């Protein structure tokens, strides 16, 4: 029975879907995987079974998720109609045991053709953003659909903001691809020590951040001593304290794709400053944030996260630092414009909802 015959049965029989993904991981991959499962669970015509995989070594933490996510692991069918694999392309397989083989992944860079042979085994490929679809080989783009990202639209808590205007960034481990160097260069060259402004860097590698700040200050050649604009490094973000306690989120990462923290910052009204063509500009625009001009450039990433990816065969985005400086200056100086954009961001939940994503997935499955 093919998938069209299965759907024609209407309410008599549900579409049996086997989902394989890293939904037990406490990271971005895990969060996106769980959002897809939530979207699938919201579709009445689907019976969902799930099996976990692990793409990274993760700390043992308790995941606060909808219990129905993990209950899918107790489901079992003799056979399934659809296989959905959320993984890196090199781990994906195509199987004749399913009427439809679907892969869910992300293309962070352009020109990575090593995964094409794996992706050709699939009937459909799902990615979060149009920017990622454009990164794929032309021969694959007809199979690719964008499904967007999801952030819970619960009422987000607020707190009183400090007098000092604060830009903030999630810097990971201060990897090359994080774009922290471009941000530091722009921030330090635009603002003065006497201005009531701060840059908050969240990182898991405090020492690397400190060393990069010192090297950047020295390389700019405009500070004779360590009298540069205020920078603060933090290693924790309990209960979204950065989103609640800072004013303006910045992300200059050179890769494309959906980033949950950036989307969450938007809903908190933190007027994200992001790169054009990054995929984030598909839900952040001039009404709720700032878009920095970008250009395509050779990817040089010595601290690559995967051994055979993020090489000079690929290309990435780089920010126009003058454009970044201008956006940060306006955000700092123009309080009325910042307030207007902030209010607009808080009303953007519809574009990041389960309902929107599940509607797209339902259409893809012809339900």
- Nearest-CA neighbor of 36 among 66, 13, 74? 66
The distance of Cα 30 from the centroid of its chain, to the nearest Å, equals: 12
Residue 25 in 3-state DSSP?
A: coil
How confident is the model at residue 224, as a pLDDT?
A: 80
Q: Given this model, what pLDDT does residue 12 score?
A: 55
Spatial CB neighbours of 255, under 8 Å, sequence gap ≥ 6: 108, 109, 177, 278, 316, 317
Give me the half-sphere count of Cα atoms (radius 13 Å) on the Cβ side of residue 149: 29
CATH architecture of 3-150+352-364: 3-Layer(aba) Sandwich (3.40)
Locate the domains of the chain by residue range: 3-150+352-364, 165-345
Are 3-150+352-364 and 165-345 in the same CATH fold? yes
The residues, ordered by sequence, that sit 6+ positions from 181 with a Cβ below 8 Å of its Cβ are 212, 216
CA distance 251 to 110: 19
Q: Is the Cβ–Cβ distance between 18 and 80 less than 8 Å?
A: yes
The domain covering 165-345 belongs, at the CATH homologous superfamily level, to Glycogen Phosphorylase B; (3.40.50.2000)
Q: Give the per-residue pLDDT at 8.
A: 43
pLDDT tens per residue, the chain (367 residues)? 445 444 443 445 899 999 999 999 988 899 999 999 999 999 999 999 999 999 887 666 677 788 899 999 999 999 999 999 999 999 999 999 999 999 999 999 999 999 999 999 999 999 999 999 999 999 999 999 999 999 976 656 666 777 899 999 999 999 999 999 999 999 999 999 999 999 999 999 999 999 999 999 999 999 887 789 999 999 999 889 999 999 999 999 999 999 999 999 999 999 999 999 999 999 999 999 999 999 999 999 999 888 888 999 999 999 999 999 999 999 999 999 999 999 999 999 999 999 999 999 999 999 8
Distance of CA 299 to the CA centre of its chain: 19
pTM: 0.92
Distances (CA, A) of 157 to 150, 249, 329: 18, 17, 27
């Amino acid at each position: 029975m093919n998938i069209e015959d299965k759907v024609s049965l209407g309410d008599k029989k549900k579409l049996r879907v086997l989902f394989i993904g890293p939904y037990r991981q406490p990271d971005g991959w895990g969060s996106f995987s769980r959002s897809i499962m939530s979207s699938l669970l919201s579709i009445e015509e689907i019976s969902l079974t799930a099996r976990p995989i692990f793409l990274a070594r993760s700390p043992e933490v308790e995941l606060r998720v909808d219990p129905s996510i993990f209950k899918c692991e107790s489901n079992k069918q003799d056979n399934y109609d659809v296989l959905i694999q959320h993984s890196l392309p090199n781990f994906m397989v195509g199987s004749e045991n399913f009427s439809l083989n679907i892969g869910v992944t992300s293309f962070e860079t352009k020109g990575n053709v090593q995964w094409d042979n794996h992706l050709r085994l699939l009937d459909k490929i799902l990615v979060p953003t149009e920017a990622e679809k454009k990164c794929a080989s032309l021969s694959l783009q007809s199979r690719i659909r964008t499904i967007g990202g999801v952030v819970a639209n619960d009422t987000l808590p607020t707190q009183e903001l400090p007098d000092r205007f604060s830009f903030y960034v999630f810097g990971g481990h201060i990897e090359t691809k994080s774009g922290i160097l471009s941000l530091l260069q722009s921030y330090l060259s635009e603002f003065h020590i006497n201005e009531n402004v701060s840059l908050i860097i969240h990182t898991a590698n405090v020492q690397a951040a400190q060393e990069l700040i010192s090297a950047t200050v020295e390389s700019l050649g405009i500070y004779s001593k360590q009298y540069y604009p205020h920078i603060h490094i933090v290693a924790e973000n309990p209960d979204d304290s950065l989103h609640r306690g800072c004013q303006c989120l910045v992300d200059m990462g050179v890769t494309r794709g959906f980033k949950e923290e950036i989307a969450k910052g938007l809903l908190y009204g933190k007027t994200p400053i992001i790169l054009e063509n990054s995929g984030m500009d598909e839900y952040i625009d001039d009404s709720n944030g700032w878009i920095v001009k970008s250009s395509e450039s050779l990817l040089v990433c010595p601290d690559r996260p995967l051994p055979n990816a993020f090489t000079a065969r690929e290309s990435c985005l780089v920010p126009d630092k003058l454009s970044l400086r201008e956006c940060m200056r306006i955000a700092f100086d123009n309080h009325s414009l910042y307030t207007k954009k902030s209010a607009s961001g808080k009303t953007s939940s519809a574009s990041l909802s389960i309902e929107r994503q599940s509607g797209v997935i339902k259409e893809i499955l012809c339900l």
